[in-house]
Amino acid sequence: MTKEVAWSTPDRSTVAVAMAAAAAIVVLVVGALAVVGRSGSPGSLVERQNFTVQYGQDPLPSGTVREFTLTAATGVTTISGAGPTDVWAFNGSVPGPEIRIGLGDTVRVTVTNDLQVPTSVHWHGIRVPHSMDGVPGVTQAPIAPGESFVYEFTPPDAGTFWYHSHKRGNEQLERGLYGAFVVEDDVPDPYTQDVTLLIDDWLLKEDGKLDPDFDFGEDIRHNGRWGSDLTINGVRDPGLNARPGERLRLRLVNTSTARIYTLDFGLLQAVGVAVDGLYAGSPLEADGFVLAPGNRLDVDVTIPVDASGVFQISDGFTGGDPLTLVAINVEGTPVEPPSFDPPNGSVPDWSSARNWHPDRVFELALTGEEANSQPVGLAGDPEGDFRWTINGRSWPDASTHIADLGGTEKLRFVNDSSAFHPMHLHGQFFQVIARDGVPVREGHFRDVVLVGAGETVDVVVVATDEGTWILHCHIQLHAEYGMATLYEVSSAGR
């Protein structure tokens, strides 16, 4: 067994993938959903009690404090081979360093801003105390140039998360200010490799430099900025080496500001085990999974012992030729595949969620309109007079929806536009219960749901985390041009 994660450029001319006896592949067996109670806070509503008993309202700090520093500064990387690409990076690398801790660890991250502009860091998907959520104007003041901010929290959930700038994301994420954040299980399963794959796309000019128009009018009006070059962990055409028989946990994260990926695992037997950080409870179809900006999918992949050659994981979202995301180069002496049930961890049992009919429905109409007023966005940008809105209001003009702490409610996203909107709620997870009024059976949680053009998506939320949270489209140009609102979870009045 090998533990190291070796990135290399595979031989692209290796065509044949020998995979005889595919039928012999052991189909993964589903274990029963393990419900491990953590300390539930007393709740006043049945849903809250049902929920928190299994979910753990409060993190259980082990006492271990892990210190990290992240310094945001300009840097240079190589993406295209045509020439160096100027980036903004944490600690000089794109992506920034992976933060990987154990469940129960407390992190203390000192973020220093060595850029010329304000920034902030948000811990996407991690249920942090409100003041640590990293949203300028909502949970903190932006970190001014030359200043630092110390984030400290104990993540209550194990899983795959990520961190990124939450200031002018259409530019700052696009320039490279993001990284992975993994919270390992108490007792991690014995995968031979556990690898985070941060998928990004870059819009480069011919000389390899980033296209400098981060506020391009057509991108604002349509589906955001889509790139010309894909990278995984900052590398174009990455390869992952594995020996036959290895069992991999791959943590895929869509860090793109706009691009959507439809995952295709080709000849690999890939089983989805977690979505947006949380274990799914039962195996998911990984092929065809749509990974919208912000989404994560963890897959459990066993390489057959008699396999060799190159296996591709690719994207088929646009319906054109599949784009290779990562090539797994299988060679070497076979190893004995580790045998264990796919993890399903301690997740709340929301199996009844689809039967809940919360009286409260918070409807969010998602639209865009030409505002014939002053141009907004970058000073002097003549194309910036288009605004995205939620219920007719455009961030930072936003109403605050108030949810009762511990209460259940339905959120209904009504997309009255011809663009995609991957909607993201901070501070809590939700389950999708219907699309266009037709019940759907998603057993897992999410913190981002893709709402297609003209589509209506219903999700159910149990409001577990107190505070005022931002709810926004994760296409960074849509959020920057107004598609954001506030969701306040409050215990007032109860």
Contact set with ligand C2O (CB under 6 A): 122, 124, 164, 166, 294, 424, 426, 470, 472, 474
**Can you read off the two tokens belonging to residue 439?**
């019940």
Q: Which is nearer to ligand C2O, 122 or 175 (CB)?
A: 122
23 contacts 258 by C-beta, under 8 angstroms:
no
Site membership for Cu ion, residue 225 (CB under 5 A): no
The pair of structure tokens assigned to 490 is 């409050």
Q: Which two tokens stand for residue 46?
A: 């049945």
CB 115 to ligand C2O: min, Å: 19
Interface with Cu ion, residue 475, by CB under 5 A: yes
Q: Which of 348, 481, 345, 487 is nearest to 413 (CA)?
A: 487
Cβ proximity to ligand C2O: between 294 and 407 the closer is 294
d(CA 87, CA 78) in angstroms, rounded, equals 10
Q: By C-beta, is 214 or 265 nearer to Cu ion?
A: 214
3-state secondary structure of 418: coil
Please give the Cα distance from 93 to 78 (Å, whole number).
11
Shortest Å distance, C-beta 81 to ligand C2O:
30
Q: Which is nearer to ligand C2O, 302 or 389 (CB)?
A: 389
Question: DSSP 3-state assignment of 235?
Answer: strand
Q: Is 473 in the site for Cu ion (CB under 5 A)?
A: yes
CB of 422 to ligand C2O, least distance (A): 10
Which of Cu ion, ligand C2O, none lies near 475, with the C-beta cut-off 5 to 8 A by kind?
Cu ion
From candidates 48, 124, 225, 247, binder to Cu ion by CB under 5 A: 124
Residue number of the CB atom closest to ligand C2O: 124
| Local structure of 467: helix, strand or coil | strand
| Position among 48, 247, 259, 478 found at the interface with Cu ion (CB under 5 A) | 478
410 binds, among Cu ion, ligand C2O, none (CB under 5 to 8 A by kind): none
**Binding at 473: pick from ligand C2O, Cu ion, none (beta carbon under 5-8 Å per type):** Cu ion
Instruction: Kindly state the smallest distance separating residue 166's Cβ from ligand C2O, in Å.
Output: 6
Asked whether 482 and 417 are in contact (CB, 8 A), the reply is no
Contact flag: residue 168 with Cu ion (CB under 5 A): no
Residue 428 near residue 455 (C-beta atoms within 8 A): no
Q: With CB cut-offs between 5 and 8 Å by kind, which of ligand C2O, Cu ion, none does residue 478 bind?
A: Cu ion
Least gap, CB of 178 to ligand C2O (angstroms): 9
Taking CB under 5 A as the binding criterion, the range among 28-36, 89-97, 323-331, 415-423 that sits at the site for Cu ion is 415-423
Binding partner of residue 421 among Cu ion, ligand C2O, none, CB under 5 to 8 Å per kind?
A: Cu ion
Task: Tell me: does residue 421 bind Cu ion (CB under 5 A).
Answer: yes
Which residue lies nearer to ligand C2O by CB, 161 or 202?
Answer: 161
Among 245, 233, 232, 241, residue whose Cα is nearest residue 301? 245
Among the listed ranges 112-120, 121-129, 135-143, 182-190, the one in contact with Cu ion (CB under 5 A) is: 121-129
Q: Going by C-beta distance under 8 Å and a sequence separation of 6 or more, which residues neighbour residue 222?
A: 419
**Distance of CA 334 to CAs 11, 194, 208, 245, 267, Å?**
20, 18, 40, 6, 18
Which of 233, 235, 227 is CA-nearest to residue 252?
233
Q: Which is nearer to ligand C2O, 19 or 278 (CB)?
A: 278
Sequential DSSP letters for 96-121: -PPEEEETT-EEEEEEEE-SSS-B-E
Q: Is residue 399 classed exposed, middle or buried when 0-12, 13-18 and 19+ CB atoms within 10 A define those classes?
A: exposed
Task: Kindly state the tokens that stand for 470.
Answer: 């931002």
Question: Site for Cu ion (CB under 5 A): how many residues?
Answer: 6
Q: How far is the CB of 416 from Cu ion (least distance, A)?
A: 12
Contact region with Cu ion (CB under 5 A), list: 28-36, 262-270, 420-428, 432-440: 420-428
**Which of 202/487 has CB closer to ligand C2O?**
487
166: partner contacted, choices ligand C2O, Cu ion, none (Cβ within 5-8 A by kind): ligand C2O
> Shortest approach of ligand C2O to residue 10 CB, angstroms?
31
Using rule CB under 5 A, residue 354 touches Cu ion: no
Distances (CA, A) of 380 to 143, 173, 215, 222, 376: 25, 22, 11, 21, 8
Residue at 90: amino acid letter: F
- Widest pairwise Cα distance in the chain: 67
Residue 166 or 478 having the CB closest to ligand C2O = 166
Q: In the complex with Cu ion, which residue's Cβ is closer, 124 or 225?
A: 124
233 or 255, CB closer to ligand C2O? 255
Using the minimum distance from each CB to ligand C2O, give the nearer residue, 53 or 197.
Answer: 197
DSSP of 294-360: T-EEEEEEE--TT-EEEEEEEE-TTSSSPEEEEEEEE-SS--PPP--PPP--S----TTGGG---S-
Question: Which residues lie near Cu ion (CB under 5 A)?
Answer: 124, 421, 426, 473, 475, 478
